[in-house]
Homo-oligomer: A and B are copies of this chain.
C-alpha cells in the first residue's frame, strides 16, 4: 500500500479533529496492546481507545468469530429485529454477567454510542418519574448530544451547545470542594429543604470513577450513601459505566465492590469487545415502561458487534481474568505512587482505581508535556481533567507484564526528560 499523506486530513477533515493532533502519524495495524503506523513504528497503547479497547486490539478469538460470521453472510444490519447473534449476546450477558452478580435488568439497545445510551436513560427516568430535573455531578462527562451534554460538567464542551443547557442541577462529586467537606450532607440539605430551589429530580447520574473529569474515584461509602439518598427520596440512580465499566476498574461493573444496585446502567465503549460501535442501557425490570419504538436508532442492530460482544464475555467466565486485572492494577498503582514519591518536583498525586488511573499535577502544562514526550518514545496516553492536569494510564486489561514494564519505563523516562528540560529552563 502506498504511504498516506498526513495533509489529507488538514485539507479534507474538519478542524474538530483532535487526537490526530496529539498523535500525528498514520496508524495502520494494531494487535493487543500494540499499534503500528505506516512507517512501521511500534507504539504501546496506554490509551485503549479511551476505554473502548479493554480487550486490546483485534483479539484473535473475537476476530475469528467475526470473520466467520461475515464470510457466512450473517446478517449485518438488522435494526431491532430478532437475529441469532443478538439472542446469543442477550443470553450470554444474562448468564455470564447478570446472574452471577445477582442482578436483574432488561437490556435496551439504543444507537451504538455512549451519548445515545445516556440520552435513553435520561428519557426513561423522566418518563418513569414524571419529573424533569436530573442531578449530575461536577466533572461528570456523559456525552455530546444536547441531553447528555446537559449533564456534562466541562465548560468548553457545554459552551459548544450554543444554547443554555437546562433541566439539570450539578452537585459536588466526592471530595470536590476539599477532603473535609461532606458533599452528600450538602446535597441532601438541598433535597430536604423545601426552599432550596432544587426540586426532587427524576434521577442522579454519575460515574463511579470520572474518566474525562480528571480520574476522580468516588469512595465506596460515598456511592453507598448516594444510593441511600436516592432510595429515600424516590430518585432513580443512573450509573454511567460507559468508560468505567467492562472491567476497567477491576470488576465487570464499576459499582460491584460498592455493593450498590443502580436503577439504570449505561454501557458502551468496550461492551462490543472489538472496538465496534455498540451501546446498551440496562433497566431495572419494573422501570421498563417504554412504548415500542419510543426511542430508536438505525444502528441499534449492529450484528458484527453482537458477535464480538458475545465472544468477549467469555473472558468473564473464568474468575482468573478478574483476578489478573486486580494484580496488574496493584502493580500499576504502585508504579504511580513510586513516581510521585521519587519525583517531588512533579507535585504529583496518584489517582484512580483499577486500570483507570493517572497522576495529577498542578504544574500547568506538565501532564501534556509528559504525554507528548511519551509519544515520541513510543507510548500513547492522554491527559484528562478540566485543566488537562492528569496524565492517564489506560492500558488494555489484557496487557502482559512485559508490556507494563516497557510502558512504565517509557513513562518514567518521559517524566525525567520533561522535568529535566524544565529545570534547564528555570535554572
A interface secondary structure, majority: loop
In whole Å, how far is A145's beta carbon from the nearest beta carbon of chain B? Answer: 4
Distance between Cα atoms of A83 and B6 in the complex (Å): 9
A197 at interface, CB cutoff 8 A: yes
Assess whether B132 is in contact with A164, with CB atoms less than 8 Å apart: yes
A403 at interface, CB cutoff 8 A: no
In the complex, which residues of chain B have a beta carbon less than 8 angstroms from the beta carbon of A310?
none
Distance between Cα atoms of A51 and B170 in the complex (Å): 35
Chain A interface size, as a band, is 35 or more
A232 at interface, CB cutoff 8 A: no
Assess whether B94 is in contact with A73, with CB atoms less than 8 Å apart: no
Assess whether B27 is in contact with A83, with CB atoms less than 8 Å apart: yes
In the complex, which residues of chain B have a beta carbon less than 8 angstroms from the beta carbon of A176?
189, 193, 196
Q: Which residue of B lies closest to A145 (CB)?
A: B145
Contact partner of A73 among B30, B81, B115, B125, CB < 8 A?
Answer: B30
Contact partner of A152 among B58, B82, B145, B197, CB < 8 A?
Answer: B197
In whole Å, how far is A3's beta carbon from the nearest beta carbon of chain B? Answer: 9
Can you show 16 pairs from A to B with CB atoms below 8 A apart?
A: A4-B82, A9-B82, A12-B90, A19-B80, A26-B87, A53-B77, A111-B113, A111-B144, A115-B145, A132-B163, A139-B195, A158-B197, A164-B166, A170-B198, A186-B186, A193-B386
Q: With contacts A77-B274, A111-B113, A132-B163 known, what are 8 further pairs, Cβ within 8 A?
A: A19-B79, A35-B75, A115-B297, A151-B197, A152-B197, A181-B185, A195-B214, A276-B302
